[in-house]
Amino acid sequence: MPLYLAGIGASAGGLEAVRALLAHLPITRKVAYVVAQHQAVDFNAQKLVDLVQPNCALRVEVAQSGRPMTPDHVYWIPAGQDGRVDGKILLLAPGSSLSKPSVDLLLHSLATNYGSRAAGIVLSGAGGDGVSGCRAIQAAGGLTMAQTPESARFPGMPQAAIQAGAIDRVLSPEKMGGALMQRLSDREPPPGLATLLDLVQRFTGVDFRGYKEETLHRRLQRRLSGLKLSGVDAYLELVRRKPEELDQLQQDFLVSLSGFFRDAECFAALAQELKAWLVHHRGPVRVWVPACATGEEAYSLAMLLVELLGAEQASQRCSLEACDLNGQALEVARRGIYSSEALEKLDPTRRQRHFVGTGNGYRVSELLRSMCRFQHQDVLTGPIPDRLDLISCRNLLIYLQSGLQGELLRRFRNSLRPGGLLFLAPSETTGTVGATLFTPVDKQHRLYRRRGGLSA
């Protein structure tokens, strides 16, 4: 099994960039690579392999489903297929997205299986495929890189990832190999980070010591860059003079990203399960959304329940509680006003049914606002509502170290009613500890059911 795995995403104009990248990759006996380049469904991927191989020291081949991956190999996903990683195995399936192969699907699976040992690379192409996958790899502590837009024939894909804040390094393809090799040799936590985490806890009351160090370090580096400071020592000196800076650092450590019906296929799977359950369930429906950010996920769940039960039943039976540590994000959630860009991918029927146009965007309906309650709370230390039917905790576990993940999953399990559901993000799983607490309902779409009786 490769120690590290890099996913390379590209579309129009990507062949030239992929060739330049692969030509500068050395033999390491540690890293394998998977290429997901958008292609016409009838295109022969072997032609691309034949073009790339002469200038590449690694072995380049067309990917085959179910075959173990080997270090110093490049696996090219064939046209019309989507690829995802399961441990050391690359699995292929008929493409289910408009962009085949899907870059996001591949990168999400890398984040889940390889965590901080994953790398996501976005090269020339149009559109936004790769953005959410790079976010997942970032959150898991991995490395993300995008091609410099000026060097890309089609800069849309790298620009989208850069503008989304999902990229650690912006480089020409020729320089990406060097950055990746540097990453392999630099795995120690940065000096001074532990001191800063102690200061943040004392000043803000929030303990980040159970979060993944690489993620925190990356966000600290962004803060240093924004302040034009040379390093952690200079930042510590600033904090001594202006301790209120720790409030801003705490906000930067928190990742407040959300979207309506983010990962639409996962929400469709959840809707199918809820529909079957509601046939027999006549009582109240209790939902909790920890780390809710700006509220889109909570409102998405409220929309699902309104669509499944009807407005009157949903209003009477359903309550959704949501919480977050980011006060600014919570204010957005409570107002319930979103830009036209935030609703761009929302089904027009849903937009018409659940939103009202305002002078500066769209406001969620009064029904949805009445169903959802938002509060400022630390998920890791605050109380969790009991007798819940559904916990939707997406893109939080990937920020936490394994011990804290297990502790939180145990609390989730004890707060769900018997048979209650846990809904995670595509880049997350319940892991070894969670396997004793939850049983998969739909493993692909990260939907789980609580095991056992009333107590752990």
Indicate whether 259 belongs to any domain.
no
Q: Is residue 417 in some structural domain?
A: yes
Place of tokens 């209790």: 286
- pTM greater than 0.85 (yes/no): no
DSSP-based three-state secondary structure for 237: helix
| CA dist., res. 279 & res. 84, Å (int) | 34
| pLDDT computed for residue 188 by the predictor | 56
Question: Which CATH number is 76's domain given?
Answer: 3.40.50.180
Residue 456 counted as domain residue: no
Contacts (Cβ under 8 Å, ≥6 apart) of 381? 207
In this prediction, the residues of the chain whose per-residue pLDDT falls under 50 are 454-456
Question: Is residue 429 in some structural domain?
Answer: yes
**Residues 336, 286 share a domain:** yes
Q: What pLDDT does residue 456 have?
A: 35
Please check whether residues 22 and 155 belong to one and the same domain.
yes
246/308 same-domain check: no
226, part of any domain: yes
Same domain, 179 and 229: no
Look at residue 98 in the predicted model and tell me its pLDDT.
Answer: 61
The pLDDT of residue 344: 83
Residues 13 and 135 in one domain: yes
CA-closest candidate to residue 420, choices 274, 263, 235, 267: 274
Sheet containing 337-338, strands listed edge to edge, beginning at the edge strand earlier in sequence = 337-338, 361-364, 355-358
Phi-psi region of 286 (alpha: psi -120 to 50; beta: other; left: phi over 0): beta
Instruction: Report the DSSP beta bridge partners of residue 391.
Output: 288, 422
Q: Which helix (H) or strand (E) holds 363?
A: strand 361-364
Give the burial class of 286: count Cβ atoms within 10 A of its Cβ; 0-12 exposed, 13-18 middle, 19 or more buried: buried
Instruction: Quick: pLDDT tens for 324-352.
Output: 988 888 999 999 999 988 898 899 999 99
Nearest to 302 by CA among 365, 396, 221, 347: 365
**pLDDT tens track for 122-148:** 999 998 899 989 988 887 778 899 999
Domain membership of residue 112 (yes or no) is yes
- Cα–Cα nearest to 387, from 424, 420, 436: 420
Residue 442: CA atoms inside 13 Å, Cβ hemisphere, count? 18
Q: What is the pLDDT of residue 186?
A: 58
Query: Are 263 and 447 contacting, i.e. CB atoms less than 8 angstroms apart?
Result: no
Asked whether residue 304 falls in the same domain as residue 346, the answer is yes
User: Per the structure block, which two tokens stand in for 289?
Assistant: 């959304």
Last residue of a domain, one of 140, 156, 185: 185
Q: Are 199 and 280 found together in one domain?
A: no
Do 203 and 341 fall within a single domain?
no
Whether residue 153 is found in the same domain as residue 237: no
State the residue range of the domain holding 95. Answer: 4-185
- Distance between CA atoms of residues 291 and 255, nearest Å: 9
Domain membership of residue 351 (yes or no) is yes
Domain check: are 99 and 171 in the same one?
Answer: yes
Q: What is the pLDDT of residue 455?
A: 37
Q: What angle do CA 180, 222, 206 make, to 5 degrees?
A: 115
Give residue 185's pLDDT: 65
The residue out of 159, 185, 211 marking a domain boundary is 185
What is the DSSP pairing of strand 416-423 with strand 447-450? antiparallel
pLDDT of residue 96: 63
- According to DSSP, the β-strands at 447-450 and 438-442 are antiparallel
Predicted confidence at residue 39, as pLDDT, reads 86
Of 5, 173, 184, 183, give the one whose Cα is nearest residue 84: 5
Residue 403 bridge partners (DSSP):
none
Examine residue 455 and state whether it is found in any structural domain, yes or no: no
Distance CA 424, CA 172 (A): 35
Same domain, 245 and 276: no
- Name the phi and psi angles at 61, rounded to 5: -150, 160
**Is residue 29 domain-shared with residue 87, that is, in the same domain?**
yes
Distant-in-sequence, close-in-space partners of 179: CB < 8 Å, separation ≥ 6 = 143, 145, 169, 171
- Give kind and range of the element (H or E) at residue 324: strand 318-324
Q: Is the CB of residue 9 less than 8 Å from the CB of residue 122? A: yes
DSSP character for 358? E
| Domain end among 253, 279, 301 | 253
| DSSP run (H or E) holding 367 | helix 366-371
Count structural domains, the chain: 3
Residue 192 main-chain phi, psi, to 5 deg: 95, -15
What CATH number does residue 444 fall under? 3.40.50.150
